[in-house]
Amino acid sequence: MGRTLAQDLAALPRERGQKIERRAAELIAEEMTLRELRRALGRTQTKMAKTLGIGQEAVSRLEDRADMLISTLDRYIKEAGGELELVARFPES
């Protein structure tokens, strides 16, 4: 039978485990939904809908999506006053 992630983490040296936990917390803190972003900017769905030229219900559906086209996300971010940057990193060969 295989080992669980919790077992693997418990087997690591303490300092390494703490480093992994800190990084995981950073990544979780960086994640923000479109709804949270809109609220943080003090905008309503109605205002975003008007800016995007769509209905309020469409904004609600966008904010509930688990995935979307990058172009759709880019437009939403731009209309919210931001700029989307997409970075792909590959290990050096």
Six-digit token string for 6: 């919790």
> Taking 90 as the threshold, does the pLDDT of residue 74 lie above it?
yes
Whether 68 contacts 74, CB under 8 Å: no
Average pLDDT on 60-84 reads 92
What is the fold, at CATH topology level, of the domain defined by 32-93?
A: 434 Repressor (Amino-terminal Domain) (1.10.260)
Q: What is the DSSP letter of 4?
A: P
Amino acid at 49: A
Task: Give pLDDT tens digits for 46-71.
Answer: 999 999 999 999 999 999 998 889 99
Whether 59 contacts 49, CB under 8 Å: yes
Distance CA 62, CA 29 (A): 22
Task: Give pLDDT tens digits for 25-52.
Answer: 777 666 788 998 899 889 999 999 999 9
Amino acid at 20: I
